[in-house]
Structure 1
């Protein structure tokens, strides 16, 4: 017999429950979480500017140290690109939409049409 998920099952875990420490190549550690679906939709709302989208994403997903959008933008302008990229890539992975995200279902759907 199939056991279907309940509403409680679906809403019990939050994005912060899945946060994890991430060690940068510098050896420093940050705490990150994946984006919620609402945040995922919001980060690109009203803009096609990749830097703006990245700043919004990092500001929502980086818990320690917490950074505002304006601080992330300043960091994008003055910091090492590799550090910003490491964090952005990890957030994408945690959110399920990184380069390594499984797209096999998309391919299967295309193959069926």
Structure 2
């Protein structure tokens, strides 16, 4: 019964987020807005953490299984992904280096 309540709260936050996304004049993922709604409710303690803890733990424990359909769908685009693989790797590495440089510089400025 506790898991049903946990999933009901999580699903309600998701539905509220999707409803908010339809009202926005631009495209934004409703699931992200649902996470913001859940964060707001938990941080203001309108919903106690124990109402979503066990359901969230169950979802986190089985997250690998939830990503299998996404990974299988990506296999359909293997040729497209292999064409841009070099660009994706270089952009990820350059972004990593840029972030490290900026964070390092900010840390040095904070220390002095």
TM-score by length of 2: 0.23
| Rg larger in structure | 2
Higher helix proportion, which one? 2
Identify the structure with the greater strand proportion: 1
TM-score (norm 1): 0.23
